């Protein structure tokens, strides 16, 4: 998700769509709030949003004393990563082996998703404000998806020009998503773009060009 879900919208169709991709009718959904520093407020908002849905919500905290996070993630059907600081999350995941556990979950067919930082993390590269107020490229993502990603494409004034410039200067081409838009990948192949807001779009961004992708409104 470029932006949206329960962190930005009430009763978001994007969250319902994420759950619909799981095979079990009442999936086990694990929220990973590492990018927020395991914010109690965000965790509470997750449980408030997902306790009303047909699922089994839970949360994996890494601040404090986590117990076997890799083993815990192995039992989850859906893994939902919050927005926040992409670089900090990646560093902590690698320290605790969560990066390997996420790849294993992806390979066994679990549904992986998230918003903003929770979308950046799956790609090789992304556009982030993890290092300060100025947007910059992050080049050491999990790499489950090839290329680069930029969230909040219409929600923050500098996202589009910074991403376009960095791709023109050699950042791997990739995708951008507006707030309220999400890209659905099966394996590493894009299947469709969905949107919770009218007019929300996603784009394929390559050197010298930006191609709008048709979005299905949920």
Report which of 127, 43, 35, 136 is spatially closest to residue 88, judged by C-alpha positions: 35
**Cβ density class 86-96: b for 16+ within 10 Å, e for less:** bbebbebbeeb
Tokens 């009442």 found at: 26
Question: Two tokens at 63?
Answer: 């601040």
Cα distances from 63 to residues 78, 115, 118, 179, 192, in angstroms, run 21, 20, 17, 28, 35
Catalytic annotation present for 152? yes
Strand partners, 181: 195
Catalytic annotation present for 165? no
**CA end-to-end span of the chain:** 13
How many Å apart are CA 15 and CA 193, to the nearest integer? 14
- From 116, 130, 148, 196, active-site residue: 116
How many Å apart are CA 205 and CA 105, to the nearest integer? 28
- From 130, 148, 152, 196, active-site residue: 152
Active-site residues, by number, are: 116, 152
């Amino acid at each position: 998700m470029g932006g949206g879900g329960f962190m930005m919208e009430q009763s978001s169709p994007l969250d319902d769509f994420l759950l619909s991709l799981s095979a079990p009718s009442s999936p086990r959904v694990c929220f990973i709030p590492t990018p927020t520093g395991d914010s109690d407020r965000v965790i509470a908002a997750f449980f408030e949003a997902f306790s009303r849905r047909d699922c089994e919500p839970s949360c994996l905290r890494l601040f404090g004393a986590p117990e076997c996070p890799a083993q815990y993630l192995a039992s989850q059907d859906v893994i939902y990563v919050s927005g926040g600081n992409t670089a900090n999350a990646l560093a902590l995941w690698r320290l605790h082996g969560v990066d390997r556990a996420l790849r294993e979950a992806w390979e066994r067919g679990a549904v992986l998703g998230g918003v903003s930082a929770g979308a950046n993390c799956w790609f090789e590269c992304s556009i982030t404000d993890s290092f300060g107020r100025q947007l910059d490229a992050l080049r050491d993502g999990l790499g489950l998806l090839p290329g680069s990603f930029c969230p909040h494409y219409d929600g923050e004034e500098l996202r589009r020009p910074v991403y376009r410039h960095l791709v023109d200067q050699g950042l791997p081409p990739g995708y951008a998503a507006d707030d309220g838009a999400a890209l659905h990948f099966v394996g590493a192949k894009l299947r469709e773009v969905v949107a919770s807001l009218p007019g929300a779009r996603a784009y394929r961004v390559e050197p010298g060009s930006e191609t709008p992708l048709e979005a299905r409104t949920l």
